Amino acid sequence: MREKLEGIKADMQKKLEYIEDLSALEELRLRVLGKKGELTQLLKSLGALPPEERPAMGQLVNEARQAVEALLDQAKKSLRAKERDLQLRLEAIDVTMPGKHGAMGHKHPITIVTDELKNMFLGMGYEIAEGPDVETDYYNFEALNIPANHPAKDEQDTFYVENGFVLRTQTSSVQIRTMEKKKPPIKIIAPGRVYRSDQVDATHSPVFHQLEGLVVDRGVTLGDLKGALSAFARELFGETTQVRFRPHHFPFTEPSAEMDASCFFCGGKGCRVCKDSGWIELLGCGVVHPKVLSMSGISPDEYSGFAFGMGLDRIAMLRFGISDLRLMYENDVRFLRQF
């Protein structure tokens, strides 16, 4: 048994020379000191020795075990020190090296235009109002004087969801919600995302952005509408900008009009942007229909108002000379860096 104990210690010392990591060291420890290890088996075999020999042999086994544990502990400390040194070398930082600068993001062209328009109208005394993207049929259509059989309610134009809800096709629904909650005078703009079932091409998208405005007070006239929007156009495109109003039809305004602005690229002389007409279609507008006021709880005999709405994507395209609407939704960094 003495020879076996010496052999185990010698073998342990020899194998420790080739151990390179802690997992291999643990395997060696289990092979010698584990439940089925060599020293453990020798300790169990003491029961087969004569009683008078057991104390001496038990002491020898315990001494051998302590010697093996000491060797293992020394090897573990050495391996941990090597691993720590390696980790420090790998994680070393050269403070004299130049740092890496992360790429800075910036505003999207639609966000730029939206923020500019917000600031313009805030300066004119308007407030910003918001509403949900998922609307009821009532707020999206009925309260805006759009009857049940109106073509705009066709599924080809509107995204219908469960329980009679729709994805709003215009931010005009925010105007209705505002008139229901707030008494005149009302002077708001409602920028936001809207949805229509359009095929994606250079000028159409199923998701786009609008900004609508609403003014309700005593004595508000079509002249107030023209004055406000003329000031807006000059603020947006320059002091020399001219505007014109063409008769149109919207269910929620009467009378209704579309407003054009003189082309800011050619000054009204005619170019490819304005299709040689000298004018650029900018927005739709009109005097709020009496039925819309009544359904919102406002007396049309006492109050009147005007409303207008414009496509922010279109204005961004005009402003920055973008020829394809799809470019603004593809997140191509090469495109976005231009702004």
Query: DSSP code of 133?
Result: S
pLDDT at 49 over 70: no
Q: Is the pLDDT of residue 10 over 90?
A: no
Q: Give per-residue pLDDT as tens, 65-123.
A: 787 788 888 888 888 888 888 888 888 887 888 878 877 778 899 999 999 999 999 99
285 with 164: CB under 8 angstroms?
Answer: no
Could you give the CA distance from residue 111 to residue 94 in angstroms, rounded to a whole number? 41
At residue 330, does pLDDT exceed 90? no
> For residue 252, with 0-12 CB atoms within 10 Å meaning exposed, 13-18 middle and 19 or more buried, which class applies?
buried
In this structure, whether the domain defined by 109-336 belongs to CATH 3.50.50.60 is answered with no
Amino acid at 308: F
* Higher-pLDDT residue of 129, 265: 129
pLDDT for position 172: 93
pLDDT above 90 (res 195) = yes
pLDDT number for residue 75: 83
Token pair 């109050």 is found at 303
Residue 311: which of 187, 214, 208 has the closest Cα?
208
Contacts of 241 (CB under 8 A, 6+ apart): 233, 234, 261, 262, 264
Q: Which range (31-45, 158-172, 183-197, 204-218) has the least confidence? A: 31-45
Residue 275 CA: distances (Å) to CA of 204, 247, 270:
18, 21, 7
Mean pLDDT rounded to a whole number for the chain: 86
Residue 214 pLDDT: 96
Model pTM score: 0.67
Taking CA atoms, 235 is separated from 18, 242, 261, 290, 306, in Å, by 81, 11, 12, 30, 20
d(CA 180, CA 298): 8
Region 307-323 average pLDDT: 90
Residue 196 has pLDDT above 80, yes or no: yes
Going by DSSP bridges, is the β-strand pair 207-217/186-195 parallel, antiparallel, or unpaired? Answer: antiparallel
Contact 280, 81 (CB under 8 A): no
- For 216-268, the pLDDT digits (tens) are 999 999 999 999 999 999 888 888 889 999 999 999 999 999 999 888 777 66
> How far apart, in whole angstroms, are the C-alpha atoms of residue 281 and residue 257?
11
* Residue 182 banded pLDDT, cuts 50, 70, 90: very high
- Concatenated DSSP letters for 305-329? EEEEEEEHHHHHHHHHT---GGGGG
Amino acid residing at 214: L
Question: Tokens at residue 127, please?
Answer: 């407030």
Tell whether the model's pLDDT for residue 9 goes beyond 80: no
Percent of the chain, pLDDT > 90?
Answer: 43
Locus of tokens 């093996």: 68
**Domain segments of the chain: what residues?**
2-90, 109-336
The pLDDT, as a whole number, for residue 253 is 94
Q: What does the pLDDT read at residue 1?
A: 64
Helix, strand, coil percentages (3-state) for the chain, rounded to 5, are 45, 20, 35
How many angstroms from the chain centroid is the CA of residue 247?
40
Question: For residue 326, is pLDDT > 70?
Answer: yes
Computed from CA positions of residues 316, 317, 322, 324, in that sequence, does the dihedral angle turn out positive or negative?
positive
For 257-285, give the DSSP string. EEEEEE-TTTTTS--TTTTTSSEEEEEEE
Q: Which candidate, 294, 282, 226, places its Cα nearest to that of 255? A: 226
Query: Average pLDDT of 194-218?
Result: 92
For residue 167, the surrounding DSSP H or E stretch is strand 165-167
